Chain A
Amino acid sequence: MIVAEDLEQTYMSGGRPLTVLADIDLEVESHGFVAIVGPSGSGKTTLLGLLAGLDRPTTGRVWLDGEELGPMSEDERARLRAEKVGFVFQTFQLIPTLTALENVLVPVELNPGRTGDGVHAVERARELLARVGLAERAHHYPAQLSGGEQQRVALARAFANDPKILFADEPTGNLDAETGHAVIDLLVALNTEARTTLVLVTHDQELAQRAHHIVRLAGGRLVSDGPAGVP
């Protein structure tokens, strides 16, 4: 589903090149669940950004569901994300001016062909909200929801366009342990139901253990890549 080949990412910082990621080769199978782990500053989020086509690598290539991202324009990659990718962020990133329901609707409305007409889209968004236990909160604004509720809306949004791949960046980072667990349970359940490929960035070892596969980063380099349960 995802193939990365010889990825390197270098930024200019204070006039000097700073390599934040190097020599990354990676393959994620369809319907798989991969956790990218590593300490702060190890390049986890950078790698996620490159795999999702949010940024271009300095060198190397990435394929997403068989399509190579490199030659694509910004807009083509946006189309690809709209059709195939879902996101969950550490800071939830709900749009503050939209209600919970409208937030869930955004990916559907951006990709109207896939999910049918407007009525159907709203129905599906309501179903998703119900699935994450927030049917009653559909018309609440993000500011009126707790952190856990916001992240659940974000989960509903992430699955709204039936993505093939879901990227989650520290989805429990801003939540207390109990809420975090609940959110992860929900994420894993939805992932299983929708048979989505899940790429999760975390520094929570316990959470990583729930993945099928763990990629460990340190100092921008891959230190291990193997099934969960292997340290």
Chain B
Amino acid sequence: MRLPFVLAMALRESRSSWRRLGFYAGSITLGVAALVAINAFRADVNSTIHRASRALLGADLELHTRYGFPESVRAVLDSASGAGTPVSFVTRFSSMALAERSGLTRLVQVRAVAGAYPYYGDIVTDPPGLWPRLGIDRIALADPAVLVELDAHIGDTLRLGQASFVVAGVITSVPGDVGLGAAIRPRIYIPEAHLVETELLQFGSFAWYQAYLQLTGADEAEGFIAAHETLLDSAQVGTTTAGEREEDLSRGLDNFARFLSLIGLSALLLGGIGIASGVHVFVKRKLETVAVLRCLGATQRTVFGVYLLQALVMGFLGAAAGVALGLGVQASLPALLADFLPLEVTPALHLGPILTGLAVGVWVAVIFGLLPLLTIRDVTPLEALRRPFDGPKPRRDVVRFAVYGALAVSVVGLSLSQAPRWQAGLAFAVAIAVTAAVLWLVAWSLTRATRRFFPRRAPYVLRQGIANLFRPHNQTVTVTLTVGFGVFVLGAVHLVERNLLDQLAIDARPDRPNFVVFDIQQDQREGVKELIEERGYTVSELTPIVPARVAGVNGRTVEDLLADTTDARPARWALRREYRHTYRDTLTSSEELVEGKWWDELDEERSGEEAPERVARISVEEGVATELQVTVGDHITWNVQGVLLETQITSLREVNWARFEPNFFVIFEPGVLDDAPQIFVTLTRVEDETRRAELQRDLVRRYANISALDLSLVQDTIDTLLGKITLAVRFMALFSIAAGMIVLVGAIATSRFQRVRESVLLKTLGGRARQVTQVLATEYLALGTLAGLTGTLLAAIAGWALMVFFFELTFRLPIVPLLGLAAAAAVVTLLVGLLTSRDVARRAPLAVLREMAE
């Protein structure tokens, strides 16, 4: 290869083609921008989290338990405190807050604080500097959302249970807390010294007890855990070090960011298709030049080098523009994702994502451009003398197959590098490959089918339009791939979003309950029932709840099972969690028996037999049964507030958790738990929102410990959460759509030359501008419709696969929106097609003929 010649020639060639090449380069710009933005943002988040590692926890070590610290653990903490280690306590639980002045109530998260927590990072208040007063004065600090929803102001009195607190200010930032959490369950901080006065922590209350220790660092934290491991384990006290907290947060955010970057990657791959089609057309127009150069004595390699170099520079420029754009977008991501972030993230310049973006951009441009570039090798010098009818025949040699291989490896590699898990990356790559293959196949079949079943009797413009689909230099494959791919990405995102929203939508039929009252103590049952019925609402049967923990499974104790390090043991969370059992003699409408028999059937079988001494019978939800590795016939020993109770599983149930009903992992047969200490929950339906608020207020006024929840609030929370996620996903999908549009415009623009020639001939022979437009419209409408329908169909398959295999939920196909999407694709293709080629129909033949001669 003659390098100086290659350089000089590439430079001279690109002088006239920079505008066209620049357009192709633009195809990858958006994809690179998406990747750079999301990867730089990941780096921002990781470095912020790492820098503020201790502030995220507020301490070096956190101990937590659901049951209050037992004396043994307290003693350890006391002695640490005595030895000079600062120790703070925080108790968190949900409760109703009532604003005295407005009379409004709201379910909030109460955090009672004792000690100098947090030791690292600052809890920022407005007015500033109020946090230290929490330990001294009887005040409350609340999230702004609490005040807004309770129509309360700073200085108002809030009632929590039996105690009242003056709201001294609002919390504006808590390091380590994700903003979304506060939006779902707004926080109220109170001094722990006054917690008892609230009388909120009664039997059965769901609370987290946390102790925070300030140590010299990670080593001392690890040392503390190691020294007290046995004690903490047996007391069911969990630990979190600052490092673990950092890791958890990083991992969670990283996974989310990686999912977003997969969507960004689809924009880049779409750009790759744009590059390939651009280079294809570019090379086609250069075949004559290539042949002349070969005639003049340039070797295959030299000529190939001239064009490869141009593709390389084009890729670099496109990628560089993408990096610049990506850095701009990076700055806007913290605002977009603020609700998912535990800390304020300030965008910084990271070299890694920039270099990766450049490299990936250039690589994608080259690897996608390489296939059409290979055609250059097949141009013989003879073609300078005599042009063949349909261009050189592509050589099917080792190099071509190696490029195919490299392309496949690149797509898989890129997917794996961006995906949160290798399975997801592989699935993504396969989905992309299948989509591209199917779209290509459909386009190919279209050219075949229209040629074969050509409508010979159709009107002239229709025939011309359809013939354009299969004529030499047609754009069928490129447009179908581009439009179809864009529709696929959009459709799949929409389907998943729609299905998630549908399934997480709480059953809102007019006869369903929409108001739940929980934490009802045994002696409050009648009073609560009366209070609700007095107002004319129907109360469902009060459902008893008995808290219990697993003590053993099939004769092995929990301690023994937890110590088992093999994979064969039940899931840790299933062994350690606090279960809330109920007992009843019937199944509810949201349950279905999947294995074993219900009590009545078992009793019938036994009738006549003498009642044997037997263990209590339980029915277990199939999911948790899998986690506990138990099935019908197995035994579970429960610790019901200190009393050990042996049970046997007689059935497994499938539970529809999305139904707004009290559902349970474990149901006992009646008669076993009747006398155990228990709390109750009940449901009712109150039509009017104001009436619900009133009922809530009245309940809280009379029974301060009781919590009530308005269904619409739960729905709002779910909608908010999904809304935020969808916004982020859509933002990234926007890159794909925009990239798709660029590629589409590019594809149509590149075939413009061909179209101009044809329509000028048509016009020279007497065709009217309208007829030329109609010919083009027929072609684009046919292409858009086909690509739209195919993309939609593929999106439906991908959406189904995602819902069923990834989210493990059912899938519903919303036909109308999908058809709308397909129709929109057809219309957009038609419009872009006509707009891009509008001067084709409009211009005078002579001007175009001159331009072509040039």
Contact = CB atoms under 8 A, between A and B. Distances in A.
Nearest to A80: B297
Interface string A71-89: 0001100111111010101
Interface in B289-307: 289, 292-302
Nearest to B303: A78
Nearest to B298: A110
Interface stretch (B5-13, B172-180, B635-643): B5-13
B386 to A, nearest CB: 6
B16 A97 contact: yes
Contact of A107 (B288, B297, B302, B384): B297
A82 B300 CA distance: 13
Given A54-B385, A89-B384, A95-B293, A112 B2 contact: yes
A75 B384 contact: no
Nearest to B15: A97
Given A95-B292, A96-B289, A78 B385 contact: no
Contacts of A143: 853-854
Given A75-B300, A97-B16, A55 B295 contact: no
B384 A93 contact: yes
Given A82-B298, A106-B296, A97 B385 contact: no
B289 to A, nearest CB: 5
Contacts of B301: 75
Interface string B4-41: 11001100110111000000000000000000000000
Query: Which size bracket describes the interface of B in this complex?
Result: 20 to 34
A96 B382 CA distance: 19
A173 B503 CA distance: 75
A79 B300 contact: no
A97 B302 contact: no
B302 A87 contact: no
Interface residues of A, number: 34
Nearest to A158: B296
A60 interface: no
Nearest to A86: B296
A38 to B, nearest CB: 15
Contact of B297 (A79, A93, A97): A79
Interface string B354-397: 00000000000000000000000000111011100000000000
A105 to B, nearest CB: 8
Contacts of B17: 97
A149 interface: no
Interface in A44-58: 45, 48-49, 52, 54-55
B292 A93 contact: yes
B12 A102 contact: yes
A85 B300 contact: no
A97 B384 contact: no
A48 B297 contact: no
A45 B288 CA distance: 17
B296 A55 contact: no
A74 B384 contact: no
Among A79, A80, A82, A89, the most chain B Cβ lie within 10 Å of the Cβ of: A82
Contacts of B381: 54-55, 78, 81
Given A97-B289, A143-B854, A55 B382 contact: yes
B300 to A, nearest CB: 6
A36 to B, nearest CB: 13
Nearest to B288: A93
A111 interface: yes
B521 to A, nearest CB: 88
Contact of B302 (A48, A98, A110): A110
Contacts of A45: 385-386
B385 A74 contact: no
Contacts of A107: 296-297
Given A97-B12, A97-B17, A106 B300 contact: no
Contacts of B2: 109-110, 112
Contacts of A55: 380-382
Contacts of B293: 95, 106, 110
Contacts of A74: 299-300
Q: Binding site of B, secondary structure by majority: helix, strand, loop or mixed?
A: helix
A169 interface: yes
A74 B295 CA distance: 11
B289 A111 contact: no
Q: Binding site of A, secondary structure by majority: helix, strand, loop or mixed?
A: helix
Interface in B616-657: none
Given A45-B386, A54-B382, A112-B4, A81 B854 contact: no
Interface in A91-120: 93, 95-98, 102, 106-107, 109-112
Contacts of B302: 110
Contacts of B299: 74-75, 78-79
Interface string A107-149: 1011110000000000000000000000000000101000000
Contacts of B385: 45, 48-49, 54, 89, 169
Contacts of A93: 288, 292, 295, 384
Interface in B383-423: 384-386
A45 B13 CA distance: 29
A95 B9 CA distance: 11
B12 A109 contact: no
B12 A54 contact: no
A148 to B, nearest CB: 15
Contacts of B288: 93
Among A78, A102, A157, the most chain B Cβ lie within 10 Å of the Cβ of: A78
B507 to A, nearest CB: 68
A75 B293 CA distance: 12
A43 to B, nearest CB: 12
Interface string B126-144: 0000000000000000000
B782 to A, nearest CB: 31
Nearest to B386: A45
Nearest to A75: B299
A141 B16 CA distance: 11
Contacts of A83: 297
Contacts of B386: 45, 49
Among B289, B301, B853, the most chain A Cβ lie within 10 Å of the Cβ of: B289
A143 B851 CA distance: 9
Contacts of A81: 295-297, 381
Nearest to B296: A107
A102 B299 CA distance: 19
B289 A78 contact: no
Contacts of A49: 382, 385-386
A55 B295 CA distance: 11
Nearest to B13: A97
Contacts of B292: 89, 93, 95
A78 B9 CA distance: 17
A70 B651 CA distance: 86
A87 B384 contact: yes
Nearest to B301: A75
A89 B291 CA distance: 12
B137 to A, nearest CB: 81
A136 to B, nearest CB: 20
Nearest to A87: B295
Given A55-B380, A110-B5, A85 B854 contact: no
Given A95-B292, A97-B15, A98-B12, A54 B380 contact: yes
Nearest to A81: B297
A110 B299 CA distance: 9
A74 B297 CA distance: 10
Contacts of B384: 54, 87, 89, 93
Q: What 7 A-B pairs have minimum CB-CB distances, sorted nearest first?
A: A82-B297, A143-B854, A81-B297, A97-B16, A54-B381, A54-B382, A75-B299
14 contacts: A45-B386, A48-B385, A55-B382, A75-B300, A78-B300, A79-B299, A81-B295, A81-B381, A93-B295, A96-B854, A97-B13, A97-B17, A107-B297, A161-B297
Given A95-B292, A106-B9, 17 more contacts: A45-B385, A54-B380, A74-B299, A75-B301, A78-B299, A78-B381, A81-B295, A82-B297, A82-B298, A89-B385, A93-B292, A95-B293, A96-B854, A97-B289, A110-B298, A110-B302, A161-B297
